[in-house]
Structure formats: C-alpha cells, structure tokens
Amino acid sequence: MIAVVVGAGPGMGLALAQRFGSEGFTVALIARRQDALAQYVTELAQAGITAVGFTADSGSESSLREAFAQIRANLGDPDVLLFNASINPSGRPDALPVQDAVEAFTIGAVGALIAAQEVLPAMRQRDAGSLLFTGGGLALKPWPPSTALGMAKAALRNLVASLAADLADTNIHVATVIINGLVGKPGFEPVVIADRFWALHQQPQGEFVAEVIHP
C-alpha cells in the first residue's frame, strides 16, 4: 500500500506520514527541499516506517507531474493521496500583491487538481482509493490578513466537492479535513488531526463523508 503526502513538512505533513505509515503504508513524500525530505525519511525510518522522498514544487505542473511519474516508476500506483501543500503570504485584499494570490492559488488549489489527476486513473481502474485534502477554516470564515490563503482554501473546498460528486458512484473516497483553528494549538496538534484523516480513509463505501470540520 502506498500513500503520497504532497507538501511534506514538519507539522501536518509529517504527522500524516506517521499516521498512515504506522498502518503499514509505504509513504512517498513530496516537498521542495531535498535536505528536509532526507530528514523526514530518516525520522520515519526510526519509527519503523518506510518512506521515500521526491523533490517537487507543487506550484509547477511539470515538476509535480514528474514527481508522480517517479513515484509510479519506483513504488507503484498510490492507494492514498494526502494533499497538504499551501502557502500563506500576508496581505489584506486592498494591498495583496496579485502574484502572491496567484502563487497561493496555484500551490494550494491547482496543485491539488494536478495531484488528483495523477492518481485517479489507476484508482478508477481498480475502483478503490482515497483522496484526502488539508482544508482550512479560512474557507468558511475569511480573515483579511490571510486573503491569499483563504482564496486558495475556498477553491480547494470547491474542488473537493466537485471530485466527490464526480466519483460518487465509485469506491474512491474524496474528502477534506477543514482545520478550523491554528495547527499546534491545544486540540489542533498535528497527530490529533491526522487521526481525522485516517478515520476518513477507513469509512466504508456508502458512508463516505466529503468534509469534516476540526474540531
């Protein structure tokens, strides 16, 4: 079994890798920095989890698609997609640089679309799989200083809803965990939130939920 974490980092990304890896998944980690990936792979290995790092930029279509091609060539077709990539450039609507908004949207929403496109053909063929996305409370209640991230998370939420509707007659589960608070605060520890992802993956067909809000 193979789980791909897009946007591997020291918080949610690593927690997701640990949670699914502890259940027997081989974990493919996608991030921009090779040195960080090497550190995560070592840390996971110490916990008995097999992980492999793949360098890619979620804001670059060619880079992200190449990473998935490498994953398929080296590990096989993913069973689970865990999309966690985002950036949060500061800026209120009246002063937010347009390029910052475009970059946040490209990484956090378009990157999610690309990742889904990369794993769906094999999942459709075997009629099984999970596509799980890290959402944000800004999609529900905007906060002006984080307008760019809010736009990206709102777009991501819409994409997940579209994917879930499109795959409703399959055994492919599409869902988002909307983190309605600050990761790391009490009740919002990454390991706690990662459990919500695992619970979604465990849901049987006929009981799929496309969105949960944490807490």
Cα separation, 92 vs 147, in Å, equals: 6
Q: Coil, strand or helix: which one is 70?
A: helix
Beta strands in the chain (DSSP E): 2-6, 26-31, 51-55, 80-83, 129-136, 172-179, 211-214
Residue 203, helix vs strand vs coil: coil
User: Which of 58, 22, 27, 55 lies closest to 41 in space, CA to CA?
Assistant: 27
Q: Which residues of the chain have pLDDT under 70?
A: none
Q: How high is the pLDDT of residue 30?
A: 98
Residue 74 domain flag: yes
Q: Domain tally for the chain?
A: 1
Q: Please, what's the b/e burial string for 25-62 (b: 16 or more CB within 10 A of its CB; e: otherwise)?
A: bbbbbbbbeeebbeebbeebeeeebebbbbbbbbbbee
The pLDDT value given to residue 166: 97
Per DSSP, 108 falls in state: I
Domain-located, residue 94: yes
Would you state the pLDDT for residue 39?
96
- Examine residue 177 and state whether it is found in any structural domain, yes or no: yes
User: Among candidates 153, 137, 56, 140, which has minimal Cα distance to 101?
Assistant: 153
Per-residue model confidence (pLDDT) at position 63? 97
Q: Domain residues for 131? A: 3-7+54-214
What's the pLDDT score for residue 165? 97
Whether residue 192 contacts residue 16, with contact meaning beta carbons closer than 8 Å, is answered with no
* CATH number of the domain encompassing residue 81: 3.40.50.720
> Has residue 49 been placed in a domain?
no
Residue 12 lies in a domain: no
pLDDT, position 179: 97
35 falls within a domain: no
Task: Please give the pLDDT value at position 174.
Answer: 98
> Amino acid identity of 210?
A
| Measured distance CA(154)–CA(105) in Å, rounded | 10
111-126 vs 61-74: helix crossing angle, rounded to 10: 30
**pLDDT score of 163:** 98
Is residue 19 in a domain?
no
In a domain, 129, yes or no: yes
DSSP β-ladder status, 129-136 and 172-179: parallel
